[in-house]
């Protein structure tokens, strides 16, 4: 069986009532977290600019721009919501346990199919259960394709959230509009040509735009295919198909026969972020926070911090002296500085003002970042690092990191997930609206109409447009 045929058969066959309960439960958690981070990203400049550009073009009001009073056609709405969802880099990450894959660097799997599913689901007036079924399907295909493609795809500069996210969005949209098999093959072929996004954009507005554009491209591929638009046959594994062109090949065993066996959302699982920054720094942030707290360290107690890690962490987290909050999300000196100065690194810390403050600029000079051959040689199946803290009183403290809150080994509790949602949503929704949204998200499969949820999420705080 070809990879293309395997994906088509899986998408046409899957039904929510045959999906394991734990998969549905994790899917509901990812939807809740994803909508929360979309709302949190609404006030960000990149999301605002995307909305402004859309408003200038006009169009029918098929779908809600979350956290605002605005509506737009489904494709542009998905672009706006997807960009907002990745604006803070607070959205979840796909994990891999395979030794030849870089742990934590496959995709941000939720935002693209979520944004596409909300927009198309609202346009098509589907139920909450139909939306969740489509979301889980898009999520699974995106993750399995990310596992299967040769890892050179990411290593050589493609941003998989943009490229693979396009397929996740297309699958989600195709499920909601009930594409036939031949139409769906054309949608995959169109998606293969639309998929794009390079890692050069990390630390700029272009990175979050990747998630929004992936969501919109997925919808566009499906809407064109539904109208008879054509593309090449066998678009995933043909000679000039997606896997060959974008990665130089793929591992068939990680896709054919692997879809839903098990679902990636439960094995190896998904990582829900405790910090709005690149996930590769999260184990180190947690480890340093534990050290600072245990020894009750004040910033003036610290003379120097030496951070050691392999290429899997040092190359993506590449900004040594960030100038903006977007760069700071990929800066080891900044994230460690924030932990020491404030004992947190949340939405309030990732601002241009804090990044450029004298306290931050001064303390970052005390942070050394070094490549460690021994750590690198142990492989990239974990986010490994070592942190040495030299105190002004002469003491030396050392900690190592490879696990973190939010990962499968230490998942966020339901209360922690709700608290994150409230923190995120408070940027645009009133307290009463937040509680209504949480109530409807908890009962997602029981909603007769998805619009019961999206209308609640369109309520806004003053000052957001």
Per-residue pLDDT tens over the stretch 115-136: 999 999 999 999 999 999 999 9
In a domain, 406, yes or no: no
Signed CA dihedral, 68, 74, 76, 82: sign only = positive
- Asked if 434 and 361 sit in the same domain, the reply is no
- Asked if 382 and 439 sit in the same domain, the reply is no
In a domain, 299, yes or no: yes
- Asked if 15 and 31 sit in the same domain, the reply is yes
Give the model's confidence band at 99: pLDDT under 50 very low, under 70 low, under 90 confident, else very high: low
In a domain, 407, yes or no: no
Rg (CA), the chain: 21
Give the model's confidence band at 103: pLDDT under 50 very low, under 70 low, under 90 confident, else very high: low
Domain region containing 453: 3-274+412-457
- The domain that contains 431 carries what CATH number? 1.10.4100.10
- Asked if 208 and 329 sit in the same domain, the reply is no
Sheet containing 396-401, strands listed edge to edge, beginning at the edge strand earlier in sequence: 367-371, 302-309, 385-391, 396-401
In a domain, 349, yes or no: yes
The count of residues in the chain is 465
The per-residue pLDDT for range 423-448, each reduced to its tens digit, is 999 999 999 999 999 999 999 999 99
Q: Vertex 251, ends 250 and 256: CA angle to 5°?
A: 110
pLDDT surpasses 70 at 464 = no
- pLDDT computed for residue 462 by the predictor: 44
In a domain, 372, yes or no: yes
Question: Lowest-pLDDT range, 11-25, 92-106, 190-204, 445-459?
Answer: 92-106
Mean pLDDT of 172-181: 98
Q: Which helix (H) or strand (E) holds 270?
A: strand 270-271
- Asked if 325 and 351 sit in the same domain, the reply is yes
The per-residue pLDDT for range 406-429, each reduced to its tens digit, is 988 889 999 999 999 999 999 999
Q: What angle, 0 to 180 degrees and rounded to 10, lies between the N-to-C axes of helices 128-148 and 160-177?
A: 140
pLDDT surpasses 80 at 463 = no
Helix, coil or strand: residue 325: helix
In a domain, 184, yes or no: yes
- pLDDT computed for residue 461 by the predictor: 47
Domain tally, the chain: 2
In a domain, 462, yes or no: no
- Asked if 444 and 417 sit in the same domain, the reply is yes
- Asked if 24 and 100 sit in the same domain, the reply is yes
346 with 294: CB under 8 angstroms? no
Other beta carbons within 10 Å of 291: 17
- Asked if 362 and 449 sit in the same domain, the reply is no
- pLDDT computed for residue 1 by the predictor: 83
- Asked if 174 and 237 sit in the same domain, the reply is yes
- Asked if 345 and 450 sit in the same domain, the reply is no
- pLDDT computed for residue 385 by the predictor: 97
Q: Which helix (H) or strand (E) holds 370?
A: strand 367-371
pLDDT surpasses 80 at 167 = yes
pLDDT surpasses 90 at 95 = no
- The domain that contains 285 carries what CATH number? 3.30.1330.120
In a domain, 345, yes or no: yes
- Asked if 442 and 293 sit in the same domain, the reply is no
Residue 256 DSSP code: T
Give the model's confidence band at 386: pLDDT under 50 very low, under 70 low, under 90 confident, else very high: very high
- Asked if 182 and 36 sit in the same domain, the reply is yes
Pairing of the two strands 367-371 and 302-309: parallel
Q: Which helix (H) or strand (E) holds 408?
A: none
Question: Lowest-pLDDT range, 57-61, 161-165, 400-404?
Answer: 57-61
CA distances from 155 to 100, 149, 306, 327 (A): 12, 12, 26, 20
The per-residue pLDDT for range 219-263, each reduced to its tens digit, is 999 999 999 999 999 999 999 999 999 999 999 999 999 999 999
């Amino acid at each position: 069986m070809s990879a293309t045929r395997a994906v088509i058969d899986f998408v046409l066959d899957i039904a929510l009532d045959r999906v394991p309960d734990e998969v549905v439960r994790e899917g509901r958690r990812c939807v809740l977290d994803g909508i929360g981070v979309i709302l949190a990203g609404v006030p960000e400049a990149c999301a605002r600019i995307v909305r402004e550009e859309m408003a200038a073009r006009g169009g029918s009001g098929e779908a809600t721009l979350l956290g605002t009073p605005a509506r737009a056609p489904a494709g542009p709405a998905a672009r706006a919501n997807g960009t907002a969802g990745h604006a803070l880099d607070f959205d979840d990450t796909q994990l891999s346990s395979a030794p030849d894959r870089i742990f934590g660097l496959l995709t941000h799997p939720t935002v693209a199919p979520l944004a596409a599913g909300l927009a198309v689901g609202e346009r098509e007036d589907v139920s909450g259960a139909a939306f969740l079924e489509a979301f889980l399907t898009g999520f699974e295909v995106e993750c399995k394709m990310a596992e299967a493609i040769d890892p050179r795809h990411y290593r050589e500069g493609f941003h998989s959230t943009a490229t693979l996210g396009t397929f996740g969005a297309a699958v989600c949209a195709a499920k909601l509009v009930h594409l036939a098999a031949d139409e769906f093959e054309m949608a995959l072929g169109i998606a293969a040509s639309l998929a794009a996004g390079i890692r050069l954009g990390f630390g700029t507005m272009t990175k979050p735009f990747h998630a929004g554009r992936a969501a919109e491209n997925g919808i566009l591929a499906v809407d064109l295919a539904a109208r008879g638009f054509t593309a090449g046959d066998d678009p995933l594994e043909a000679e000039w198909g997606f896997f060959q062109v974008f990665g130089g090949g793929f591992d068939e065993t990680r896709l054919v026969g692997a879809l839903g066996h098990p679902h990636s959302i439960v094995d190896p699982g998904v990582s829900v972020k405790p910090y709005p920054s690149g996930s590769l720094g999260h184990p180190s942030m947690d480890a340093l926070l534990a050290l600072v707290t245990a020894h009750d360290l004040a910033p003036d107690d610290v003379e120097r911090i030496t951070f050691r890690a392999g290429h899997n962490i040092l190359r993506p987290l590449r900004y040594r002296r960030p100038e903006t909050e977007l760069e700071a999300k990929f800066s080891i000196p900044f994230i460690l500085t924030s932990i020491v100065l404030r004992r947190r690194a949340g939405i309030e810390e990732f601002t241009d003002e804090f990044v450029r403050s004298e306290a931050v600029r001064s303390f970052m000079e005390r942070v050394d970042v070094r490549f460690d051959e021994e750590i690198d040689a142990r492989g990239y199946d974990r986010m490994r690092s070592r942190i040495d803290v030299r105190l002004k009183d002469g003491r030396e403290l050392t900690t190592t990191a490879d696990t973190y809150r939010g990962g499968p080994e230490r998942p966020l509790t339901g209360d922690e997930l709700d608290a994150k949602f409230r923190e995120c949503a408070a940027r645009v929704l009133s307290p009463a609206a937040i509680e209504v949204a949480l109530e409807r998200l908890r009962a997602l499969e029981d909603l007769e109409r998805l619009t019961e949820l999206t209308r609640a999420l369109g309520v806004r705080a003053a000052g957001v447009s």
